[in-house]
Structure 1
Amino acid sequence: MTIALERPQQRSKSAQIREKLGYPIIDTDVHTQEFEPAVLDYLEQIGGTAIAETFKQHLPGSSRFKWYKQTWEERFAYRSNRPNWWGRPTKNTLNLATISLPKLLHERLQESGTDFAVLYPNLATLAPNISREEMRRPVCRAINTYHADIFRPYSDRLTPIAAIPMHTPEEAIEELEYAVNVLGLKAIQIPGYVRRPIPAFEKYGPEVANEVVWIDNFGLDSQYDYDPFWAKCVELKVIPTTHASSQGWTTQRSVTNAQYNHINHFAFAAEAFCKSLFFGGVTRRFPTLRFAFLEGGSAWGASLYADIIWHWETRNKQHLLTNNNPTLVDKEALAELYIRYGGELVKGRVDQIGDGLGFHSKHFAPQDPGQLDEFELAGIEKPEDVRDRFWKHFYFGTESDDTRVAHAFNRAANPFGDRVKAFLGSDAGHWDVPDITAVTANAYSMVERGIITEEDLQYFLSIHPLELYTSLNRDFFKGTAVEKAADEYLGSRE
């Protein structure tokens, strides 16, 4: 039977808007689906038959989530979070095929108004999170090789990310060097964290240790020094991006409701990673390195930017010593006030006043004066330093219909009148983008509704992604459909 697929007889609304705007549109988060039999061929060649067969049993759609294998009693007993389901747009067969066939995606990309796209294939976003090293390493290598091969003929408009595992700096560097130097990939994705067992609970056995974990975000309090990896990113001119999920964390653990678990889960994971990089001093030690957080929106980035400055203003070392130091208390005057106004409540117990207010507690007086300055690693001595360590370094992938981007572009409210660096990450290929040709039209509708300005839109669709991807690699867009625009952008900044 031959299936006739209806193709539009005229250009899409997004393509028409793109022509009207007159500048290139770069989508930083298009999701594609691998052809799994071919991936398994690559994996068998790289990892062997046993690894390929084991991985096959854990592919999406194979009920890999323990939730599906449990009874309702077991789900509640283990508080197993309900996973996402029905994640692909299936009504339009042409759109469904587009996300899995590179040639078709390349042919149709401009129908969405997009000139160039960074691709986040489904298995590539999952591979670095595999816990077993003997499975994780070959899967990442096979998936990266597969994507480099199938998208190479379409590099003028499409570039896939390389999946970089981060359980140790050594494995991250090894896979990064292979992906860039051997496979020729120029965009990467790292997990936003690694779940590590808390040592004190390992004595209770692997089942407990697997649940009682801490989140290692590679910056603050990390198990390893990841500076060699960040340095390698700078050397190889690649931008670390992350697409991390927090589903299954304490606040994303509904047994029955996947939407409860899904809402804001990307933002929660991204914020944890972002704070770790900032407070761990990564952005201070690597002033040229930028980071991008995908699919969590940008409202949380605007909030965090302002919140860090507010915390510094109220919790910096000098402010604490001047306003919160327990030695500043005039104990005689305080006792007099308690005697005058406390009545029977404090009668005979005036000597215990400090216990009630807390200034007798040891935790109010750190023995090491260095403990007072929790902004020291980040190198913050004034609010402008937060701008240098945060605003200049972090970019926030935002879907084309996410009206919360207004917070990122609210220059009247943001510190220093900044536009927080939100940029288009459409999430095309997933359930929330039923029509992949509507991406640019959705974004432009925010201008039509007065949510953002025309100027904001250009930063969102073009300037911020150009800025991000050329920050280390001026040739990132060389040989692509946006090469000329990238050269003009770089020339304007010189």
Structure 2
Amino acid sequence: MGHTAQRREAAAVVRTDYAAPMPVQLDHPVVDGDGHIVESLPIVIDYIRRVAGSDVADRFAGSSPAFASRRAPLLTEHRHRPAPGNPITPWWALPADTLDRATGLLPQLLYERLDEIGIDFTVLYSSVGLACIGQVDDAIRHGACRGLNTYLAEMLDGFGDRMTAAAVIPTHTPDEAIAELDHVVKDLGFKAVMLNSFIARPLPERGEGAQWLDVLALDSIYDYDPVWARCVELGLAVTVHSPSQGLGLRASSSRYMFNHIGNFAASSDAFAKAVFFGGVGYRFPTLNFAFLECGVSWGVQLLCDLVDRWHKRGGANIERLDPKRLDSDEWDRLLVRYGGDRFADAAVRRATLGQSDNPPDDVDDFRACGVTTPADIVGQFGRFFFGCEADDATIAWAYADRVNPLGATLQPMLGSDIGHWDVPDMRDVLPEAFELVEHELLSLAQFREFSCDNAIRLHGGMNPHFFDGTRVEAYANALLGRADVPA
């Protein structure tokens, strides 16, 4: 889908006075489920120093040349040079317009511009948070997350009627996750969080640098059920935004876009499958999950695949594939008759018959999910929300009820991504999103769900007071069916 707004020249640093108008007046608010705040790294490091001490702050600053931003020459010295096995990191990842660049940095400026941008309420996610929750060193990780969360709480203080920040939650162990969840909610007043959805853990027995990816909800070395339970207790949706750039087949040393495209979808797909197959969605049926900046097309594919696999391998269906059902005498007859001398040896026939006969103790991969019918699978997807950018035409696939299993529709959610390079002009987000309606890909009712209702359901479904005191409070209360407030 093409951009409707007139774009600036690449070298421009001052915005033009033109912005694409909305073709209609919406009869509902716009709730942005995934905007961004761009932190000042020198100030964040000062916050880390304040809460965790100089040693932790200095080691965090030294963990990447980009973090040592007080020393600009260091960045030039470390300019990336392609080398096999050295994945390129993001570059020029922020808008080149002065006003938009400053807007992503300064919550007060964003607050003043929200009406111009067309957003009534936004949930802002950290930019440097991904680097904080991914630190291998325990002290650096804990100190960086706590310092950043303090920074976010103080930067957004006083703007709660139009915006809120999501705290960053490290998840290397359940204990550290629970400790930070309690701290950000009870001490700092957060009501939204972003959890790290996978951990790269070392495999020293396989050599230096060997690692495996722990997706927390399945096959983990820890039991993360206490984390999911604490999220329910605190009224927090589990939102994830973990990148997979630099891992596996997304490790180009020369092309940032090679590594970037699809990376959030890949990590979200892995975590969603872990939540499903690990039985987390079954054991915690009231817990909402959001997968951010990844679109919804992979979610549609995952739902279709799960239903298809269940029909063939789920529950009692797996018994149809049991090799015990084979007739060994008929097998021998067929191989001798049609295989010729190659299969004259009975030992060869037996060995061939035994191929793929290596099942685990439990042959039902779906057992922990509590799934007995395809409807159970679709039902668990009712707690999944998918952050989508404004120019993503595949949002329409979420509503393809003639194709999706059992006529299912998924829950896409507007994630503006303002503050990052994906949005050259913040004023274009809403008109660009509305092209989905203009191109007859979404109805007005579906656009309302995408641009407003689903974000409210995600957070308000966990905490009915999430939107109290905000511009969208009355609308949210009506949508959520709050019985404790007057109609």
Flag whether TM exceeds 0.5 (same fold).
Answer: yes
Q: What residue identity is the alignment partner of 1:83?
A: T
**Is residue 266 from structure 1 mapped to residue 256 from structure 2 by the alignment?**
no
Give the equivalent residue in structure 1 for 2:168.
Answer: 163
Structure 2 residue ranges without an equivalent (≥5): 1-12
- State the alpha-carbon separation in 2 of the partners of residues 430 and 290 from structure 1: 26
Picking from 46, 49, 72, the partner of 1:44 is 49
SS in structure 2 opposite 1:214? strand
- State the alpha-carbon separation in 1 of the partners of residues 41 and 351 from structure 2: 64
**Is residue 459 from structure 1 mapped to residue 460 from structure 2 by the alignment?**
no
Give the equivalent residue in structure 2 for 1:375.
Answer: 366
Q: Cα 1:239–1:367, aligned 2, differ >3 Å: closer, same or farther?
A: closer
SS in structure 1 opposite 2:400? coil
Picking from 338, 357, 364, the partner of 2:357 is 364
Q: Cα 1:178–1:61, aligned 2, differ >3 Å: closer, same or farther?
A: closer
- State the alpha-carbon separation in 2 of the partners of residues 286 and 249 from structure 1: 30
Give the equivalent residue in structure 2 for 1:468.
Answer: 458
Aligned positions, number: 466
Picking from 331, 334, 339, the partner of 2:336 is 339
Identity over the aligned pairs, expressed in percent?
A: 36
Indicate if the aligned counterparts of 1:26 and 1:424 stay in contact, CA closer than 8 A.
yes
Picking from 60, 66, 87, the partner of 1:60 is 66
Structure 1 residue ranges without an equivalent (≥5): none
Deviation at 1:62, TM superposition (A): 4.7
Which range moved further: 121-130 or 435-444?
Answer: 121-130
Which has more helix, going by share of residues? 1
Q: Deviations over 1:453-483 (max 9, x none)?
A: 2222111111111111111100100000100
Give the equivalent residue in structure 1 for 2:113.
Answer: 108
Indicate if the aligned counterparts of 1:469 and 1:476 stay in contact, CA closer than 8 A.
yes
* Paired residues for 1:138-157 under 5 Å: 138-157=143-162
Picking from 335, 351, 356, the partner of 1:355 is 351
Give the equivalent residue in structure 1 for 2:92.
Answer: 86
- State the alpha-carbon separation in 1 of the partners of residues 81 and 378 from structure 2: 50
- State the alpha-carbon separation in 2 of the partners of residues 436 and 6 from structure 1: 10
Indicate if the aligned counterparts of 1:88 and 1:96 stay in contact, CA closer than 8 A.
yes
- State the alpha-carbon separation in 2 of the partners of residues 23 and 71 from structure 1: 49
SS in structure 1 opposite 2:481? helix
Picking from 114, 128, 133, the partner of 1:128 is 133
Deviation at 1:54, TM superposition (A): 2.6
Indicate if the aligned counterparts of 1:124 and 1:140 stay in contact, CA closer than 8 A.
yes
Deviation at 1:71, TM superposition (A): 6.2
SS in structure 2 opposite 1:146? helix
SS in structure 2 opposite 1:120? strand
Indicate if the aligned counterparts of 1:166 and 1:194 stay in contact, CA closer than 8 A.
yes
**Is residue 384 from structure 1 mapped to residue 389 from structure 2 by the alignment?**
no
- State the alpha-carbon separation in 2 of the partners of residues 160 and 59 from structure 1: 26
- State the alpha-carbon separation in 2 of the partners of residues 55 and 338 from structure 1: 65
- State the alpha-carbon separation in 2 of the partners of residues 276 and 355 from structure 1: 34
Deviation at 1:98, TM superposition (A): 0.7
Deviation at 1:344, TM superposition (A): 3.9
Cα RMSD of the aligned pairs, angstroms, is 2.3
Picking from 402, 413, 435, the partner of 1:423 is 413
Deviation at 1:436, TM superposition (A): 0.6
- State the alpha-carbon separation in 2 of the partners of residues 250 and 122 from structure 1: 23
Q: What residue identity is the alignment partner of 2:369?
A: A
TM-score (norm 2): 0.90
Give the equivalent residue in structure 2 for 1:313.
Answer: 311
Picking from 468, 471, 475, the partner of 1:485 is 475
Picking from 34, 37, 43, the partner of 1:29 is 34
Q: Deviations over 1:429-462 (max 9, x none)?
A: 1111101111110110111112222222111111
- State the alpha-carbon separation in 2 of the partners of residues 271 and 247 from structure 1: 14
Give the equivalent residue in structure 2 for 1:175.
Answer: 180
SS in structure 2 opposite 1:433? coil
- State the alpha-carbon separation in 2 of the partners of residues 455 and 354 from structure 1: 61
Indicate if the aligned counterparts of 2:86 and 2:251 stay in contact, CA closer than 8 A.
yes
Give 4+ residue runs of structure 1 displaced > 6 Å after superposition.
4-7
Indicate if the aligned counterparts of 1:338 and 1:350 stay in contact, CA closer than 8 A.
no
- State the alpha-carbon separation in 2 of the partners of residues 222 and 436 from structure 1: 40
TM-score (norm 1): 0.89
Q: What residue identity is the alignment partner of 2:430?
A: T
Q: Deviations over 1:329-359 (max 9, x none)?
A: 112222222333233443x225522433xx3
Which range moved further: 113-122 or 46-55?
Answer: 46-55
- State the alpha-carbon separation in 2 of the partners of residues 184 and 243 from structure 1: 21
